[in-house]
Homo-oligomer: A and B are copies of this chain.
Amino acid sequence: MAVEQRPPRRRVSQADVAKAAGVSPTIVSSVINNKSYGSIRIGDLTRQRVLDAVRELGYVPDPVARRMTGHTNRLIGVFTYESVFPMRAHSFYHEFLVGIEQAAEEADHDLLLVTGSRRERQPSLYARGSNGLRLADGGLLFGSAENTDEVVRLTKEGFPFVVVGERNYPGIEASYAAADYRRGTAALVHRAHELGHRRIAFAQSYDDPVPGRLAGFLQAKADLAMSADDAPVLDLRTADPWAEPEVQGVRAARAIVNSGATCVLLQGGFWLDEFWAEASRLGVSLPHDLSIILLRSEERSVDGWPVTELDIPRNEMGREAVRILLQLIDDPTLGPLRRRLPCGVREGATLMSGPRQVPAST
């Protein structure tokens, strides 16, 4: 029994059902949605007639039309600046998306993926003129240096969206699900302290769009009553933080070794290899003489040592972003919803015990 392919045939619409059941579209709609508009009440027989007609005709409401009349689509938009399915398996986005998909599925929502075209100089959610997520009930954005404009426009449009990760947008109160860098960093300082480190440095290598890492360091410093000398903040910032790893690594190594720290927290690890080499050249044996903690989640290794890192809860951030978004969609008057999720530690091998306590002289 071959199924004929009838390409442009008209779908069966609500009107068809109404006619077949001998009722008005109102009734059909109200039966379908199990909703009593105003004083509406449907007789059992009528309801049955409608349901029968629906089944017989194979009627299915058109989601586009529903959306037009203000209903939602159970659709969550996700905008990424690079391809979502990258060649390399472990992309930046993948872990987030695992969480996003899980939470979306739990809430019985589908995903609309919009990728900023790489053909554009500046990938944008508005590359095609209009908000590419508009078809979805709301959107998820990744916090990035380049997306301020989109965030402003989305906000103006009143489109519900949540930023995955934290970022401050001038004049905008965006909802987000972020990592709690502050607590995570503070915890690592405490841990280093417990391991016997008494001089712990923070290597600031770029202007952080979010203040959590440094703030956490400073808070731990205060908690532990460390002096400015014992918990120095080393300013390693350069005009272009991504330029010349050799130069930057060497500079960093000198500054950090000079500081006399036995443990350093790195805000960024771009020049980690070069740093490592230079430190060795300076006679500092890593990680024995100097423990390294990277305040990022990159699964880095250097010279064969897996680096001890902050573990950013990507999966949970994705899930939480979805949950927040669903709340926002449900009630658009809700203020910005923000959540910071606890970081873990990716146990590496570059955080070792501090130097043996030298008995205080005199």
Please give me the residue from chain B that is nearest to A95 by CB atom: B85
Q: Interface readout for A120-146 with B: 1 if CB under 8 Å, 0 if not?
A: 000000001111101100000000000
Q: Interface readout for A99-121 with B: 1 if CB under 8 Å, 0 if not?
A: 01110010010111111011000
Interface flag for A74 (CB, 8 Å): yes
Q: Is the CB of A105 within 8 A of B130?
A: no
Interface flag for A289 (CB, 8 Å): no
When A75-B135, A131-B60, A152-B3 are in contact, do A94 and B89 touch as well, CB less than 8 Å? yes
When A83-B105, A118-B105, A172-B3 are in contact, do A68 and B60 touch as well, CB less than 8 Å? no
Interface flag for A247 (CB, 8 Å): no
Interface flag for A359 (CB, 8 Å): no
Q: Interface readout for A50-77 with B: 1 if CB under 8 Å, 0 if not?
A: 0000000010111111011000011100
Q: Is the CB of B130 within 8 A of A63?
A: yes
Size of interface on A: residues with Cβ below 8 Å to B: 61
Which of B5, B85, B115 lies in contact with A98, CB distance below 8 A?
B85
Q: Is the CB of A171 within 8 A of B2?
A: yes
Interface flag for A38 (CB, 8 Å): no
Interface flag for A90 (CB, 8 Å): yes
Q: Interface readout for A157-189 with B: 1 if CB under 8 Å, 0 if not?
A: 110000000000001110000000000000000
Interface flag for A45 (CB, 8 Å): no
Interface flag for A361 (CB, 8 Å): no
Stretch at the interface among A7-15, A16-24, A345-353: A7-15
Please give me the residue from chain B that is nearest to A76 by CB atom: B113
Q: Is the CB of B98 within 8 A of A6?
A: no
How many copies are assembled?
Answer: 2
Contacts of A158 in B (CB 8 A): 5-9
Q: Nearest Cβ in chain B — how far from A35, in angstroms?
A: 15
Contacts of A117 in B (CB 8 A): 105, 108
Cα–Cα distance between A157 and B93 once the two chains are bound (Å): 35
Q: Is the CB of B86 within 8 A of A98?
A: yes
Cα–Cα distance between A331 and B131 once the two chains are bound (Å): 27
Given A3-B156, A75-B135, A105-B118, 12 other A-B residues pairs in contact with their CB atoms under 8 A: A5-B158, A60-B131, A61-B130, A62-B134, A63-B134, A63-B135, A75-B112, A83-B105, A84-B101, A101-B115, A105-B117, A113-B113
The 5 closest A-B pairs by CB, nearest first: A89-B89, A60-B130, A7-B332, A111-B113, A2-B171
Residues in A lying within 8 Å of B, measured CB to CB: 1-3, 5-9, 11, 58, 60-65, 67-68, 73-75, 83-87, 89-90, 94, 97-98, 100-102, 105, 108, 110-115, 117-118, 128-132, 134-135, 152, 155-158, 171-173, 332-333
Interchain Cβ contacts under 8 Å between A and B, 10 examples: A3-B152, A3-B155, A3-B171, A9-B158, A75-B135, A84-B101, A85-B94, A85-B100, A110-B112, A113-B113
